[in-house]
Amino acid sequence: MSALSLGLVAALCWGFHDICVRFLSQKTPVTACIITVLTTGLIFHAGLLAIYRPQISFEVSGLSFSAISGVAFVVATFALYYAFQRGPVKVVAPLIATFPLFSVGWAVYSGTHVTAFQWAAVIAIILGVSIVAGLSRDEADDFPPLGPTILLSLVASAGFAATFTTGQTAAKLIHEIPATLITRMIAVVLTAAIILILRAKFWPGWSALPWLISMGIADGIALFSVIKAGGLPNEHYASVSSSMFGLLTIVFAWAFLKEKLTLSQWGGCLVAFAGVGYLAL
């Protein structure tokens, strides 16, 4: 699969993940949601390692990049959950979806040539996501102050960009399966430590558990897909196309929860997919 296709797989998985976050985070402790999803993802990645048994290189730099990726993923995940908990989605989703700008910017800094048309396609994807999310209707009428919400969303965006960039670098050095597994291990250990320090809750409750396990598997597939793109041509495309998860979250809400999508939102979908289509050429 191409980097672009792997990113679209990640977007589908994170779209499902985030539509669940929208509702579970309102009635289930955020810390319990995060640790359950991350632990499920860890089991998923350990299973991949046991099944495929790839040849692993224990190069120190590769292990270090995986560890950094894990720390960044924790920061991004906590910021995402709390941003979605605060809302509104029309503010949170477009800001988090800006992480491809960081990823493509890093690719340019690293020596990758990105044409003006490719930049335009990236911006079209982010613009399309922003149109769809910005015109969405939120269930609540009032929200907490927007300042912290905007900050959390931007922290999540930068955190995801750092996760993908360092994770893809690690994949080139030690193989994508162990790279993703180490990223997840660091994330679970760090999250558990944070919960213990905050004396927050680990247990989400039986009713939320099946959904959280499904979210963890989806999150595991998504993270593995983006990191697996490391070493492929145009690896930063995986980050770009995965940013469409915010758009897909709202499309899933239309498809399964009967939420309305306006003509303008469908136009935003077309803009985003046109951007993806150009990059696929």
Radius of gyration of the chain (CA): 18
Q: Where are the beta strands (DSSP E) in 54-188?
A: none
What whole-number percentage of the chain has pLDDT above 70?
A: 97
What's the total number of domains in the chain?
Answer: 1
Q: CA-to-CA distance for 238 and 270, rounded, in angstroms?
A: 19
- pLDDT value of residue 256: 78
77-89: average pLDDT: 83
59 or 222, which is more confident?
A: 222
pLDDT digits (tens, 9 = 90+) for 98-113: 888 888 888 888 888 8
- pLDDT value of residue 140: 56
Residue type, 270: L
- pLDDT value of residue 139: 56
Q: Which two tokens stand for residue 145?
A: 């102050």
Q: CA-to-CA distance for 96 and 82, rounded, in angstroms?
A: 12
140 or 249, which is more confident?
A: 249
pLDDT digits (tens, 9 = 90+) for 189-211: 999 999 999 888 889 889 889 99
- pLDDT value of residue 137: 65
pLDDT class of 141 with cuts at 50, 70, 90: low
162-182: average pLDDT: 90
User: Does residue 45 have a pLDDT over 80?
Assistant: yes
Q: CA-to-CA distance for 120 and 59, rounded, in angstroms?
A: 37
What whole-number percentage of the chain has pLDDT above 90?
A: 32
What's the CA angle centered on 152, arms 99 and 211, to 5 degrees? 85
User: Mean pLDDT in the chain?
Assistant: 87
User: Does residue 262 have a pLDDT over 80?
Assistant: yes
Asked if 240 and 279 touch (Cβ cutoff 8 Å), the reply is: yes
Q: Which two tokens stand for residue 169?
A: 């670098």
216 or 142, which is more confident?
A: 216
Asked if 222 and 242 touch (Cβ cutoff 8 Å), the reply is: yes
- pLDDT value of residue 216: 93
User: Does residue 70 have a pLDDT over 80?
Assistant: yes
- pLDDT value of residue 132: 83
125-147: average pLDDT: 76
- pLDDT value of residue 10: 93
Secondary structure of residue 183 in the 3-state scheme: helix
Supply the range of the domain harboring residue 47.
3-280
